[in-house]
Amino acid sequence: MKTKVLFGLIIIWTFALIMLGAYVRLSDAGLGCPDWPGCYGQLTAPDEAHEIELAQQRFAGEVESIKGWIEMSHRYAAGILGLLVLVLSFTLFAQRERFAVPWWFIVLPVSVIVFQALLGMWTVTLKLMPAVVTAHLLGGMTLLAVLLALFARCFTQPHAILSGLRPWFFAALVAVFAQIMLGAWVSTNYAGLACNDFPLCQGQLSPPQGLMAAMRPDRDLGRDVSGVLLTVDHLAAIHWLHRVGAVLVLCVLGGLISKLRTLMPSLALALGAALLLQVGLGIANVLAALPLWLAVAHNGGAALLLSVLVYGYALLPRAIERPSLASTLPANMVRSPL
């Protein structure tokens, strides 16, 4: 029971951290601290007059204490999550015979967090390079998915009735994760307002020019690979591609939901509700000109949709493990090496 409570706390904390990370990014506080892991060379954001003066001298720039505190709150929350996940890993190792979970699955969340910390550092040192920031967002979503899958492995039973839906679930996971990646690319390039009409984008259905240049991962924020500033058309092309991805997700998840309606109506309802919520939030963000709270909620909607889908996938019948060679031999043929 204690392990289950710890799991629940960690999953909720991870979800909240994803929302907080979105708030940091969308409130333009990603460089609220120009160094890492501290903030202007100290453990807290500078807010006293003498601290601000010293920070300005050392880092040669304007110090915004509020943005510094926003960024540091995200780092503190991430540090606490790392400690909680480490405790969980030790707990699962101590009870691995009870849960029958492979060792690599137990250490996977810790590995993701370590890589997330590196991405957090590179986000600052590489000055919000879109590819790095996008990877950082995807890392948070991956951590949430891994934790949910691990929870399901430990505390739920497979449903044989869902065995025929494995290809549908796999296709849905790929589509949703790809769409989250496109949404992250929109957010990290600040392209959310590049298409301010709906369902058209800049008054047309076809993609604006510059899509290939805008999708290059090896470029800095706001510039193409040659260093030239991106135009509104480039940003609109990114936004347009995200909308195309939304249509694909609707088709794939719509098919999966129709299959689930008779097999597991509760899961179909949860998945359908999460999908409609996310689509509604996306449309509302365009029509309302991307208010901060609604943009953060759109990130949360993506995390919720992924969570429902991962949990459903975890309910599929597990592959039968192959017996070892020794277990298949007659007892009189299994000899001691001594």
CA-nearest of 263, 63, 47 to 166 is 263
> b vs e for 93-111, b when ≥16 Cβ sit within 10 Å of the residue's Cβ?
eeeeeeeebeeebbebbbe
Residue 107 lies in a domain: yes
Structural domain includes residue 332: no
CA gap 54, 45 in Å, rounded: 12
Structure confidence by residue, pLDDT tens digits, 220-257? 999 999 999 999 999 999 999 999 999 999 999 999 99
The verdict on residue 306 lying in a domain is: yes
Residue 327 lies in a domain: no
Same domain membership, residue 308 and residue 251:
yes
pLDDT at 143 over 60: yes
Split at pLDDT 50, 70, 90, the class of 325 is: very low
pLDDT range class, residue 334, cuts 50, 70, 90: very low
> pLDDT tens across 33-90, in order?
999 999 999 999 999 999 999 999 898 888 999 999 999 999 999 999 999 999 999 9
Same domain, yes or no, for 126 and 214? no
The length of the chain in residues reads: 338
pLDDT of amino acid 98: 87
Structural domain includes residue 331: no
Please tell me whether residues 180 and 129 are part of one structural domain.
Answer: no
pLDDT (tens digit, 9 = 90+) per residue, 167-177?
999 999 999 99
pLDDT (0 to 100) of residue 290: 94
Query: Is 234 found in the same domain as 102?
Result: no
Residue finishing a domain among 155, 177, 192: 155
Residue 333 lies in a domain: no
> Cα separation of 238 and 219, whole Å?
14
Number of domains in the chain: 2
Residues 208 and 72 in one domain: no
By the 8 A CB rule, do 187 and 25 touch?
Answer: yes
Task: Give me 314's structure tokens.
Answer: 């975890």
Residue 35 domain boundaries: 1-155
Q: Can 71 be counted among the known catalytic residues?
A: yes
Number of CB atoms found within 10 A of residue 127's CB: 13
CA torsion angle 256 258 261 266 (round to 10): 50
- Domain identity same for 166 and 306: yes
Residue 319 pLDDT: 60
Rounded to 10 degrees, the C-alpha dihedral 84/89/90/94 comes to: 140
pLDDT at 328: 44
State the Cα angle at 297 between 134 and 291, rounded to 5°: 95
Whether residues 142 and 72 fall in one domain: yes
Give yes or no: residues 32 and 125 share one domain.
yes
- Report pLDDT for 235: 96
Determine contact, residues 242/185, Cβ cutoff 8 Å: yes
Q: Which of 48, 62, 64, 71 is catalytic?
A: 71
- For 302-322, what is each residue's pLDDT tens digit? 999 999 999 999 999 976 444
202 and 224 in a common domain: yes
Mean pLDDT of 101-118: 95
Which of 129, 155, 181 lies at the terminal end of a domain, its last residue? 155
Residue 279 lies in a domain: yes
Q: Is residue 15 part of a domain?
A: yes
Q: What is the pLDDT of residue 327?
A: 41
Provide the pLDDT for residue 239: 97
What residues are paired with 229 via a beta bridge? 223
The letter for the amino acid at 319 is A
Torsion sign over Cα 135, 138, 140, 144: negative
Query: Do 75 and 117 have their domain in common?
Result: yes
Mean pLDDT of the chain: 91
**Domain identity same for 181 and 149:** no
pLDDT for position 61? 81
Domain end, chosen from 103, 125, 155, is at 155
Contact in structure between 185 and 238 (CB atoms under 8 Å) = yes
Looking at the structure, tell me whether residues 145 and 169 fall in a common domain: no
**pLDDT (tens digit per residue) in 125-134:** 999 999 999 9
Name the band, by pLDDT with cuts 50, 70 and 90, for residue 187: very high
